[in-house]
Amino acid sequence: MSDISIRYQTGAPQHLETRFAARAAGMLPSEIRALFAVASRPEIVSLAGGMPNLSALPMEMMAGVVNELILTNGSEALQYGSGQGHPKLREQICDVMALEGIRANADDIVVTTGSQQALDLISRIFIDPGDVVLVEAPSYVGALGTFRQYEASVVHVEMDHDGMIPDSLRAAIKSVRAAGRKIKFLYLIPNYQNPTGVCLPADRRTEILNICREAEIFVVEDNPYGLLGFDKPSPNAMRAEDSENVIYLGSFSKTIASGLRVGWALVPQSLKDKLVIASESSILCPSNFTQLTISSYLADQPWRDQIASFCELYKVRRDAMLESLEQHFPAEATWTKPGGGFYVWVNLPAEIDTKALMPKAIVAKVAYVPGNAFYADGLGSWSMRLSYCHPTPERIREGVKALGGVIKQEMKRRGTALN
Q: Which of residues 189-228 bind its own copies (CB under 8 A)?
A: 213-214, 216, 218
CA distances from 95 to 105, 106, 156, 234 (A): 10, 10, 33, 16
Q: Which stretch binds its own copies (CB under 8 A): 220-228, 279-287, 314-322, 395-403?
A: 279-287
Q: Sign of the C-alpha dihedral, residues 253, 257, 259, 264?
A: negative
Q: Which stretch binds its own copies (CB under 8 A): 80-88, 171-179, 341-349, 399-407?
A: 80-88
Amino acid making up residue 254: K
d(CA 106, CA 70): 25
Q: Which CB atom, from 83 or from 404, has the smaller least distance to its own copies? A: 83
Residue 340 CB, shortest distance to its own copies, in Å, is 20
Q: Which CB atom, from 66 or from 379, has the smaller least distance to its own copies? A: 66
Q: Which stretch binds its own copies (CB under 8 A): 14-22, 169-177, 306-314, 355-363?
A: 14-22
Q: Which CB atom, from 260 or from 373, has the smaller least distance to its own copies? A: 260
> Going residue by residue from 308 to 337, which x/- string records binding to its own copies, judged by CB under 8 A?
------------------------------
Q: Which CB atom, from 79 or from 327, has the smaller least distance to its own copies? A: 79
Residue 247 CB, shortest distance to its own copies, in Å, is 8
Residue ranges in 130-169 that form contacts with its own copies under rule CB under 8 A: 131, 142, 145-146, 149-150
Residue 158 main-chain phi, psi, to 5 deg: -60, 145
CA distances from 130 to 9, 23, 126 (A): 43, 11, 11
Q: Which CB atom, from 252 or from 335, has the smaller least distance to its own copies? A: 252
> Going residue by residue from 240 to 259, which x/- string records binding to its own copies, judged by CB under 8 A?
xxxxxx-------x---xxx
User: Does the protein bind its own copies through residue 282 (CB under 8 A)?
Assistant: yes
The distance from CA 256 to its chain's CA centroid, rounded to whole angstroms, is 16
Q: DSSP for 282-318, please give it.
A: HHSS--HHHHHHHHHHHHHS-HHHHHHHHHHHHHHHH
Which long-range contacts (C-beta less than 8 Å, at least 24 apart) are formed by 238-244?
238/190, 238/205, 238/208, 238/209, 239/97, 239/102, 239/104, 239/266, 240/100, 240/101, 240/102, 240/103, 241/101, 241/205, 241/206, 241/209, 242/209, 242/213, 243/103, 243/104, 243/268, 244/268
Q: Which CB atom, from 162 or from 280, has the smaller least distance to its own copies? A: 280
User: Does the protein bind its own copies through residue 78 (CB under 8 A)?
Assistant: yes
User: Does the protein bind its own copies through residue 24 (CB under 8 A)?
Assistant: yes
Number of residues that bind its own copies (CB under 8 A): 98
Any residues with CB less than 8 A from the CB of 11 and at least 6 apart, and which? none
User: Does the protein bind its own copies through residue 85 (CB under 8 A)?
Assistant: no
User: Does the protein bind its own copies through residue 74 (CB under 8 A)?
Assistant: yes
Which of 100, 108, 120, 221 is close enough to bind its own copies by CB under 8 A?
Answer: 120
User: Does the protein bind its own copies through residue 108 (CB under 8 A)?
Assistant: no
SS3 of residue 155 by DSSP: strand
